């Protein structure tokens, strides 16, 4: 495979800006990039998903050891169940036993679960040590590894405990995507499409032109999609790091419906991105009913999602049950439903106090 | 009792400055002050030490309820054992059950244990909710409630997990000190004396003039001592919030020896402030041996601590064991001992690479 150019996206957050590097087949250069950026690191806690041990985590550990870094490994079982208090406590305890200190760096290798869990351990051990995110799934590459949200779940409450803790560096090698199940890869494309809808009409057009290349994971197309997605997320996060102005909430496009889909279908039925894709389509129908967008918008988004191999409907949806779930969501203020809705390709707004009947209709519109 | 003036110390941290209010017998005004400062609070999680339930926590809860705030109470058993992962998890879970959200405020009523534990829960629930510190011990009033350090212990590792999370407000009523055991009250005076030594010769002189008034907990003297202590701590914290420049480390004067005293004596033998007082005296002897201060310094500090009803020696000290403990302290860089040592009343410096023999001698000098 020919060498690809390394793309850099910077996240100019105060007090510490950081970079996201995106390339293909440059895994052997990751250790050097980490050493170069964090020159005073004495020790690495490499926290990785059990699925990527031999392919990605151990080779990176070897690179770092070769560069004179003391490395300790922590394996995390794949799956959302690992984002638990018990697993967090074990990681804290292992960091203590391994004498992690202020020169230590936590390196998270895996998807969103590992990034969130290891990131929260980094945010809280010794009141905060540095963090490097090495996301190996498309979803984490374009979403969770950027922006500093870390955390764990309590029973019945996802991400309810956590911290804002920005990484010092994010490293992405699209080669890791080749080892993903296709369905998992395609799921990540939902968040990519989301960035086009919420912030960048030009990118949406580019996605329409390159949907098939993306769907078959063409590296050049995927690198560009990741770079633009990270840049868009970085812009939003810089404008509203702690989700106080409402700007960051625009990232939740499709997610209010999506969370209700996941909660009522059971978390095993849809992957997160799949639920978001269906949720985006429900949101589009809702925006149409409110006269905010026309039929063409709904159709364009529908067609793009389909070409990205994503579902756009859910035959078994239970509108009333989904509505109840949405009303108990922690993001709902005083029981009033609020949605991120488009006004055109490339722009969304927060819309409050939406009529329940229109919400039901929007869900039914995708129940085919 | 006559009404006392309320003193205010501000901590001008970015992005959110906050105030510390200090008065006597103004408990009935606390709820109003909280409502006035955090006008959009919808819900309070009042976390309190079991010792102060009926005297202080329940009356405050009643005030807030009377002002229309939904209040949930969380009792924490007195003692360091409550700073555990298990207790933290229970608080997180209770906050979830009580539907704490972004308009909720955690109010910590008690000493350092409750402040650290509740503060860390506030720092991490929903990635951070607001915190009000209502310290009811002298130690927490002059030390832990100001500056934003929160956290819990792991077995064998104190404060190893935590976050920097600044309160929105700190409220101090010296009336709470009347309910403390005298020994606990006097223990807090060690940290007060410390501020004089590390940063404020004028204050040290004032302490010498008012030692007896302080020792018998005269409210006017205690208010002044708390206000100056909080101001000094605030200055240091503003200069070095995250302990990166070394300035904040000056607050550890007496603490390297003090922690070794606590660890080798067992945590039940000395109260924290007592260990710090002995530790300050050991540090003074060490500074004397290094030619940094003269005999008069050692004597003046000795006399003040004694008049504040604090211990200045420890007959059973085991110098070699204390040395080992200090060398395994997380603050020791690469095994080299580093101390905060005075050069005169009102000024300390970080001194690295100190000869072990001199450390042993300093411990022995207090072994009488």
Query: Can you give B123-183 as a three-state secondary structure string?
Result: HHECCCCEEEEEECCHHHHHHHCCCCEEEEEECCEEEEEEEECCCCEEEEEHHHHHHCCHH
A194 annotated as ligand-binding? no
Active site residue A242: no
Give the integer Cα–Cα distance in Å for A150 and A83.
10
Contact between B167 and B131 under an 8 Å Cβ cutoff? The reply is: yes
Shortest distance, CA A99 to any CA of chain B (angstroms) = 8
The CB-side HSE value for B344 (13 A sphere, CA atoms) comes to 5
Give the integer Cα–Cα distance in Å for B200 and A181.
65
A254 annotated as ligand-binding? no
The two beta strands, B338-344 and B347-352, are antiparallel
CATH dotted code for B7-179: 3.40.50.1970
**What are the Cα distances from residue B350, in Å, to B198, B251, B337?**
11, 11, 11
A113 annotated as ligand-binding? yes
Distance in angstroms between the alpha carbons of the first and the last residue of chain B: 43
Residue to test with chain B: of A161, A245, A248, A335, most B Cβ within 10 A: A161
| Annotation: CATH topology of A183-365 | Dehydroquinate synthase-like, alpha domain (1.20.1090)
Q: Which residue in A51, A191, A241, A274 is the catalytic one?
A: A191
Three-class DSSP category at B301: helix
Active site residue A367: no
Hey, which residues of B are catalytic here?
A: 127, 149, 191, 233, 243, 248, 252, 255, 259, 272
Contact between B272 and B80 under an 8 Å Cβ cutoff? The reply is: no
pLDDT for position B5: 83
pLDDT for position A332: 55
A291 Cβ contact partners less than 8 Å away, ≥ 6 residues apart: none
Does B194 have pLDDT greater than 70? yes
Q: Per residue in A187-232, pLDDT tens?
A: 999 999 999 999 999 999 999 999 999 999 999 999 999 999 999 9
pLDDT for position A1: 45
CATH dotted code for B185-365: 1.20.1090.10
Residues of chain B with CATH 3.40.50.1970: 7-179
Q: Which residue in A58, A75, A208, A243 is the catalytic one?
A: A243
Active site residue A70: no
**What residue ranges in chain A does DSSP mark as E strands?**
7-11, 18-23, 43-49, 70-76, 104-110, 130-135, 149-154, 157-164, 169-173, 339-344, 347-351
pLDDT for position A272: 94
pLDDT for position A33: 97
Shortest distance, CA B103 to any CA of chain A (angstroms) = 10
Per DSSP, helices labelled H in A38-140 are: 58-66, 85-97, 112-124, 138-139
Q: Which one of B92, B126, B162 has the shortest CB-CB distance to A127?
A: B162
The CB-side HSE value for A323 (13 A sphere, CA atoms) comes to 15
What percent of chain A is modeled with pLDDT above 90?
90
For residue A124, list chain B residues with Cβ-Cβ distance below 8 A. Answer: 124, 151, 161-163
- Cα angle B170, B157, B275; round to 5: 65
Instruction: Quote the crossing angle between the two packed helices B272-289 and B255-265, to the nearest 10°.
Output: 130
Tracing tokens 């410096």 back to the chain, one arrives at: B349
Q: Which one of A96, A151, A154 has the shortest CB-CB distance to B154?
A: A96
Scanning every residue of chain A, which has its alpha carbon at the shortest distance from the alpha carbon of B151? A127
Q: Which one of A85, A124, A330 has the shortest CB-CB distance to B162?
A: A124
Residue A267 pLDDT grade (very low, low, confident, very high; cuts 50, 70, 90): confident
Give the integer Cα–Cα distance in Å for A144 and A87.
19
Active site residue A43: no
Give the integer Cα–Cα distance in Å for A170 and A130.
12
Residues of chain A with CATH 1.20.1090.10: 183-365
Q: Per residue in B243-288, pLDDT tens?
A: 888 899 999 999 999 999 999 998 789 999 999 999 999 999 999 9
For residue B154, list chain A residues with Cβ-Cβ distance below 8 A. Answer: 92-93, 96
Residues of chain B with CATH 1.20.1090.10: 185-365
**What are the Cα distances from residue A340, in Å, to A175, A198, A199?**
33, 9, 12
The CB-side HSE value for B225 (13 A sphere, CA atoms) comes to 35
Q: Which one of B96, B124, B154 has the shortest CB-CB distance to A162?
A: B124
- Asked if B128's CB is within 8 angstroms of A96's CB, the reply is no
């Amino acid at each position: 495979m020919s060498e690809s150019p390394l793309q850099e996206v910077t996240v100019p957050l105060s007090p510490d800006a950081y970079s996201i590097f995106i390339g293909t087949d440059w895994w052997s250069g990751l250790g050097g990039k980490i050493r170069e950026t964090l020159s005073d690191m004495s020790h690495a806690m490499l926290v990785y998903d059990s699925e990527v041990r031999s392919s990605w985590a151990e080779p990176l550990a070897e690179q770092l050891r070769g560069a004179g870094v003391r490395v300790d490994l922590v394996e995390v079982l794949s799956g959302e169940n690992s984002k638990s208090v018990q697993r967090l406590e074990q990681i804290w305890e292992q960091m203590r036993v391994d004498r992690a200190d202020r020169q230590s760096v936590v390196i998270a290798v895996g998807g969103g679960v590992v990034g969130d869990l290891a990131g929260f351990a980094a945010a809280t051990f010794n009141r905060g040590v540095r963090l490097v995110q090495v996301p190996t799934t498309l979803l984490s590459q374009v979403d969770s590894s950027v922006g500093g949200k870390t955390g764990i779940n309590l029973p019945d409450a996802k991400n309810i405990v956590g911290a804002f803790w920005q990484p010092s560096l994010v490293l992405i090698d699209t080669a890791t995507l080749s080892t993903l199940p296709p369905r998992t890869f395609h799921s990540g494309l939902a968040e990519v499409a989301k960035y086009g809808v919420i912030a960048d009409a030009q990118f949406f057009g580019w996605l329409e032109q390159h949907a098939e290349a993306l769907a078959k994971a063409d590296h050049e197309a995927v690198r560009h999609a990741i770079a633009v997605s990270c840049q868009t997320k970085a812009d939003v996060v810089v404008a509203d790091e702690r989700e106080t102005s409402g700007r960051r909430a625009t990232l939740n496009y499709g997610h209010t419906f999506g969370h209700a889909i996941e909660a009522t279908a059971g978390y095993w039925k849809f992957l997160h991105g799949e639920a978001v894709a269906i949720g985006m389509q429900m949101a589009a129908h809702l925006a149409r009913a409110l006269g905010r967008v026309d039929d063409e918008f709904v159709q364009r988004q529908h067609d793009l999602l389909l070409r990205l191999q994503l579902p756009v409907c859910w035959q078994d949806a239970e509108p009333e049950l989904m509505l109840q779930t949405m009303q108990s969501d922690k993001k709902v203020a005083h029981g009033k439903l609020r949605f991120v809705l488009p006004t055109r390709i490339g722009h969304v707004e927060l819309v409050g106090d939406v009529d329940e009947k229109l919400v039901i209709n929007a869900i039914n519109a995708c129940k085919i």
